[in-house]
Structure 1
Amino acid sequence: MSADFWAGYVSGAVGIIIGNPLDLVKTRLQAGSSSVQDVRGTSTAVVAPRSFRGQFENAGTLVKGATAPILGYGALNALLFMTYNRTLTLLGDSPATPNSFAKVFLAGATGGFASFVVSAPTELIKCRAQVSTEINATSWSIAKQIWAKDGIRGLYYGGGITSIRDAVGYGFYFWSYEWSKQAWSSPDDTDRETAFKVLMCGGFAGIITWVSIFPMDVIKTRVQTQVLQPEPVRRSEQQTLLHAEGRRMQLSTIQIARHAYQTDGAGVFFRGLGICSVRAFIVNAVQWAVYEWMMRLL
């Protein structure tokens, strides 16, 4: 395997280990008050606690849902960085010192879209594990339950909105990192100054990325964690979101977005952005530092 593959894999796994507790809070705030399925197929009511501390039922909650992203996000990051570097090279630019920010954005978006193959099932399993209050729910048990019920198609539920989110988000991710790095770097920087600036630029890129896609991420989380109640919900004569016969149906992405807006207003699409920004800065600062260090090492 190439150096950028392994550098991406390790940096992605490290980022997940560091950021999982804050990611859990972000996911639960995005999901809101809803019901999710436990591993036995029954529904479990979830109401987002009001306090930060209240999000953690016990010490095990700190790593809840981490298994899928540690394994999957490492592979995702490896695929992302490898695709980004190859695409930028094909566009006639250098990944080490790119000259065109437009090409950087395009290469990042291409890498983000390619990573959907890994990110869609990883995000689905992670979100359901984090939102579920079932004590015995693990990433593995949730994956088995989804596979048994819907097969591979079930693992890619919500894949459409996930692929769009990834393409847009990673376009801004690489663009903001390269822009800030080139604007701030100097040939006279010492190794310590260079390392500090990589951390700051990585953290800045993480925040810019999440701000650009956060409403889509909220919708994605709600799509992937939805288990609808049998009661009918009507917002207008033209819109019936649930059947009254007691059957469960899954809403489309547009219906989820419309229902969230009508229920909680525009603010719902930015719920959890604060905690997500803190997490994004920490995780991506460390992730870029590990990536740059491993690239030099390899």
Structure 2
Amino acid sequence: MTELVTPQKANPVKFFIAGGFGGMCNVITGHPLDTIKVRLQTMPLAAPGQQPRYKGVIDCAVKTFRQEGFRGFYRGISAPLLGVTPIYAVDFAVYAAGKRLFQTDDHIRLTYPQIFTAGAFAGVCSALVTVPTDRIKVLLQTQTVSGGPQMYNGTLDTAVKLYRQGGFKSLFKGTCACILRDSPTGFYFVTYEFLQDLARKKSKTGQISTTSTILAGGTSGIVFWTLAVPFDVLKSRLQSAPEGTYKHGIRSVFRDLMATEGPTALFRGVLPILLRAFPATAAVFFGVELANDFLN
């Protein structure tokens, strides 16, 4: 397997294609735990004397399976699956373009601060593409447990109804929250490149292996999501709330969460997030490296 960081100048077109394929691998691998994560993040605060809707990851998984079957874990997957190609394609293409800005010739190897800068810029750009699919996904994942009638029937129906309700503003609800959630992307790429550099030094051939790609990719996902969890909670709350609930966006969500549930609520759903982070992110980088090998 070749390496994501090559001595040649990064090719944004190749990274665009490889990133899209890696993103598809991510969604298929991680969506069940993403559904559990969103449901834990958005469940209402239990009334005094009542049990919470879900006691934890296992309880949420059991209830989801009992009520909706195996398909319940993949509810809302079509939105990220359809949107994942441009999202990850943009992420890796912008990352490659950012790297090219620092590469004065074909043989220069970037420093970690330069990798961080390119990765952070990629995170902001990909977040702008992510918002509509994230909004649709969250609504589809949470509507079956809200207790009311189902308002949306699939990805396209949700997109049309959101547009009719509030135009593009409704579809892009949670943009600032999404940018904040994806802002640690610089750490994501730095962690991956650093671990692959260590693996390359230990390798007799100077090439990276499939095992090192999986370990480096999974670890980078753990690092990223550890930093991103609080912003992801705020984003999920904002995107799943009825129109007009939070007048000042993520600031209103934060104030309400602190007043009613306290700081620990910012880490609700952290267990399924971290359980999902390793295999899902490992799948991204494995898919990217595999696609790069094929394109080479």
TM-score normalised by length of structure 2: 0.83
In structure 2, C-alpha distance between the alignment counterparts of 1:254 and 1:172, rounded to whole Å: 25
Q: Answer yes or no: is 1:155 the counterpart of 2:151.
A: no
How do 1:78-157 residues align onto structure 2 when only pairs under 5 Å count?
78-92=89-103, 98-133=109-144, 134=150, 137-157=153-173
Counterpart for residue 53 of structure 1:
62
Q: Work out whether residues 48 and 55 of structure 1, in 8 Å CA contact, stay in contact via their aligned partners in 2.
A: no
Give me the whole-angstrom Cα distance separating, in 2, the residues matched to 1:179 and 1:97: 16
Tell me if structure 2 keeps the 8 A contact 1:98–1:104.
Answer: no
The verdict on how the C-alpha distance between 1:97 and 1:211 changes in structure 2, with shifts beyond 3 A counting, is: farther
Which of residues 212, 231, 235 in structure 2 aligns to 1:220? 235
Mean Cα deviation higher: 144-153 or 177-186:
177-186
Could you say which structure has the higher helix fraction? Answer: 2
Contact map agreement 1:73 1:118 (CA 8 A) in 2: no
Distance in 1 between residues matched to 2:116 and 2:108, nearest whole Å? 14
- In the alignment, is residue 265 of structure 1 matched against residue 262 of structure 2? yes
8 Å Cα contact 1:72/1:122 also seen in 2: yes
In the TM superposition, what is the alpha-carbon distance from 1:171 to its structure 2 partner? Answer: 1.2
Q: Which has the higher contact order (CA 8 A, sep 6+)?
A: 2
Which residue matches 1:199? 214
Match of 2:74 in 1: 63
Amino acid at match of 1:84: Y
Structure 2: 5+ residue stretches without partners: 1-11, 46-51, 145-149
Question: Residue 86 of structure 1: CA displacement?
Answer: 0.7
Please report the RMSD computed on the Cα atoms of aligned residues, expressed in angstroms: 2.4
Relative to structure 2, which stretch is displaced further, 95-104 or 274-283?
95-104
For structure 1, the residue ranges without an aligned partner over 5 or more in a row are: 35-46, 229-247
More strand by share: 1
Kept after mapping to 2: 8 A contact 1:88/1:94: no
Q: SS of the residue aligned with 2:134?
A: helix
**Per-residue deviation at 1:175?**
1.2
Question: Is 1:16 aligned with 2:27?
Answer: yes
Equivalent pairs counted in the alignment come to: 266
Q: Sequence identity, in percent?
A: 27
Pick which of 211-220 and 90-99 moved more. Answer: 90-99
Q: Which moved more, 1:182-191 or 1:23-32?
A: 182-191
